[in-house]
Amino acid sequence: MERGLPDEYTVHAAVELAVRAPSVHNTQPWLFRVGGRTVHLYADPERRLAETDPRGRDLILSCGAALHHLRIGFAALGWRAEVHRLPNPDDENHLAAVELHRHEPTQEDITLAAAIPRRRTDRRRHSSWPVPEGDVELMAQRAAAEGIILRAAEGQARYHLSRAIREAAARHAHDPAYQVELAAWSGRDAAPDGVPSANVPAPDTTPGALPDRPFADPRLPQPPDTAGEDDETVLLVLATTSDDRMSQLRAGEATSATLLTATALGLASCPLTEALEIQDTREKVREKVTDGSFPQMVLRIGWAPVNADPLPATPRRDLAEVLAPLQEPAHPHH
């Protein structure tokens, strides 16, 4: 079969990889629908975080990451995805229609697909080993292939970015509605979504450490013997020239490409969106860090300390909750 859909096993296997994508507070705000010839991705607006993500940007970024995971999953299984983004002007939640064509998996397809089950959001401190420039260049190339600018924030840009992250954390700390929402999505251990205690470290009190979100009930130990070391974290910023839904979706795809590349290289990674969730801190990042381009994602990349234990996988919703046949519209008789 040259066109049309692969068998059900292949579709399910690819979607199983897609739903391992990172999402804000592990909300998993996506729905997949299987048509006769295409797989469709929809945003699930009921999973938008009203306080954290008032404009729904994090939701679209999360869905973009799942779309890229889906593409990589199909590619490694022998199917090239031809993606029609935002195919339906009448339904803003219909983010992509994916047609599939047989293809021979490349080494890159296989490497990135193999990284999907291993990727974790690692909020712990990094070690003092520097990230090789060539690794950052490869991540930038993979983001560029998705149409997105990726740069490392260095010098003044890093100073301004760190300041924006601290300012956003301080603003959120004094926002009771935000705190309630954060608590509702964290410290959950039996739930199929949200951020479990086992994946959240105690706050890093090292001078100069960037604040992370204060998720409830942190139980992940910071690695020992790193407190006095300089943390060689690289801060990568993904930015777009416009700020529409398409740009946000593509930035999510580039986020996935960058994170999977980092994982394949053995690096630890953690998305940071807090500074971009408040309009004026995002504006400062746009002005001082991305030269007027719209910042969509900040990634913290580094080496996990040599004695850091592997992280458990965060939970995922049952496939039956997010995958269903497409309800084809009834065609009127002429």
Residue 327 pLDDT > 90: no
pLDDT of residue 223: 82
Residue 245 pLDDT > 80: yes
Residue 228 pLDDT > 70: no
pLDDT of residue 5: 84
Residue among 162, 152, 276, 169 at smallest CA distance from 212: 169
How far is 285 from 294, CA to CA, in rounded Å? Answer: 8
* Confidence tier at 213 by pLDDT (50, 70, 90): very high
Q: Which amino acid is at 39?
A: V
Residue among 95, 21, 30, 90 at smallest CA distance from 248: 95
Q: What is the distance between the terminal CA atoms of the chain, rounded to a whole angstrom?
A: 32
pLDDT of residue 330: 46
Q: pLDDT above 70 covers what percent of the chain?
A: 95
What is the model's pTM?
0.96
List the single range of 53-62, 63-72, 222-231 with lowest mean pLDDT.
Answer: 222-231
Residue 62 pLDDT > 90: yes
How far is 232 from 129, CA to CA, in rounded Å? Answer: 6
Residue among 206, 197, 250 at smallest CA distance from 230: 206
SS3 30: strand
Structure token pair of residue 79: 């199917």
* Confidence tier at 333 by pLDDT (50, 70, 90): very low
SS3 170: helix
pLDDT digits (tens, 9 = 90+) for 229-238: 567 899 999 9
pLDDT of residue 204: 85
More confident site: 69 or 334: 69
- DSSP assignment of 197-243, as one string? GGG-BPP--STTPPP----SS--BPPPTT-TTS----EEEEEEESS-
Q: Mind listing the domains of the chain with CATH numbers?
A: 8-118+314-325 (3.40.109.10), 133-302 (3.40.109.10)
Residue among 61, 122, 49 at smallest CA distance from 296: 61
pLDDT of residue 3: 57
List the single range of 86-100, 101-115, 170-184, 301-315 with lowest mean pLDDT.
Answer: 301-315
Residue among 329, 251, 313 at smallest CA distance from 33: 329
pLDDT digits (tens, 9 = 90+) for 259-281: 999 999 999 999 999 999 999 99
